[in-house]
């Protein structure tokens, strides 16, 4: 029996990738996802702006890694394709960039294969696996990525779906252990200590409608910082989404309940 069961193609419970798609204004979801997304957003009006700010953070982080010479990216928790995907941002900066996308939902991977198409100089690949299944992910990623060279590991709004009892900190460390020195971790995570009552209520609503393997746990800034233990954390550290190296025209919004950071493996 698979230790990390994958969702069925026709779920009766909400899935985070499809709920996220609702919040981004997409059309690739089921009624159960629509219901979970709308009720959660009703309890916490910062969700939709947070999702969009999270997408903008991903773009800024990928552009920074590209400026540091990173040409390989492992994006775990791909989600249904939207604008400014990892490979698009990376290949705008360096057309030869290679990206491996990982998600556990077969619907997500179907969309990814159709829409996340590399430019001619680079390469994309797609792995269906649970984020907890480290060996499967890395063994499959090594078909496309050279793990002896630096990789940008993207754990953007995914670790909240791994329960404390499953030790997401150890899972993150095991992923990093197999990556070369000079690799980077790009991380974002719902906050338990920013507008906490609203976050808790929206998470409760979502979790009631999600499959057990896809329930979410917000975490404090201190708990999120633990994911970066042993790494060189880039300035400005663990901050809210709009505080991480914003563009000059960006307006900071510290009410958005997500922490983010970028760190380098020495």
What is the percent of the chain where pLDDT is above 90? 55
How does residue 1 score in pLDDT terms, banded at 50, 70 and 90?
Answer: very low
**Assigned token pair, 181:** 């020195």
How many CB atoms are closer than 10 A to CB 163? 14
pLDDT exceeds 90 at position 227: yes
Q: Which residues contact 168 (CB under 8 A, 6 or more apart)?
A: 159, 162, 227
Most confident of 27-31, 118-122, 166-170: 166-170
Residue 111 has pLDDT above 60, yes or no: yes
The residues, any chain, with a CB within 8 Å of residue 245's CB and separated by 6 or more, are: 60, 64, 236
Residues 138 and 124: their CA atoms lie apart, in Å, by 15
Q: Which residues contact 55 (CB under 8 A, 6 or more apart)?
A: 24, 82, 83, 84
Q: What does the pLDDT average to over 79-97?
A: 86
Residue 154 pLDDT > 90: yes
Q: Which of 189, 170, 198 is nearest to 77 (CA)?
A: 189
Mean pLDDT over 144-169 rounds to 96
* Token representation of residue 179: 């990556």
The pLDDT of 95-124, averaged and rounded, is: 85
Model pTM score: 0.86
Span 239-258, average pLDDT: 90
Has residue 249 got a pLDDT over 90? no
pLDDT score of 81? 63
94-103, 209-218, 227-236, 243-252: which has the minimum mean pLDDT? 209-218
CB-count burial class (<10 Å; 0-12, 13-18, 19+) for 221: middle
- Tokens representing 30 are 């089921």
- pLDDT at position 75 is 96
Q: Stretch 158-186: mean pLDDT, rounded?
A: 97
- Select the more confidently predicted residue: 132 or 11: 132
C-alpha 6/C-alpha 71 separation (Å) is: 30
How far, in Å, are 7, 120, 188, 257, 261 from residue 239 at the CA level? 33, 36, 9, 10, 7
């Amino acid at each position: 029996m698979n230790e990390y069961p994958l969702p069925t193609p026709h779920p009766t419970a909400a899935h985070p990738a499809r709920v996220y798609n609702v919040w981004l204004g997409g059309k690739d979801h089921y009624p159960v996802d629509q219901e979970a997304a709308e009720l959660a957003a009703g309890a916490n009006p910062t969700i939709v702006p947070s999702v969009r700010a999270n997408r903008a953070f991903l773009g800024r982080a990928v552009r920074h890694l590209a400026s540091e010479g990173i040409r390989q990216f492992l994006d775990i928790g791909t989600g249904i394709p939207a604008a400014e995907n990892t490979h698009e941002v990376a290949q705008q900066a360096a057309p030869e960039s290679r990206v491996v996308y990982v998600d556990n939902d077969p619907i997500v991977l179907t969309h990814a294969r159709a829409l996340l198409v590399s430019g001619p100089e680079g390469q994309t690949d797609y792995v269906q696996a649970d984020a907890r299944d480290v060996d499967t992910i890395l063994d499959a990623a090594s078909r496309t990525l050279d793990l002896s060279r630096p990789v940008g590991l993207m754990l953007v709004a995914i670790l909240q779906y791994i329960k404390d009892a499953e030790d997401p900190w150890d899972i993150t460390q095991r992923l990093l252990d197999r990556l070369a020195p000079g690799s980077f971790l790009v991380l974002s995570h719902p906050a338990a200590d920013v507008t906490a009552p609203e976050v808790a209520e929206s998470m409760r609503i979502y979790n009631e409608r999600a499959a057990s393997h896809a329930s979410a746990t917000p975490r404090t800034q201190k708990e999120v910082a633990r994911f970066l233990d042993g790494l060189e954390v880039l300035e400005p550290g663990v901050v809210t989404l709009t505080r991480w190296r914003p563009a000059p025209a960006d307006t900071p919004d510290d009410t958005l309940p997500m922490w983010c950071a970028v760190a380098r493996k020495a």
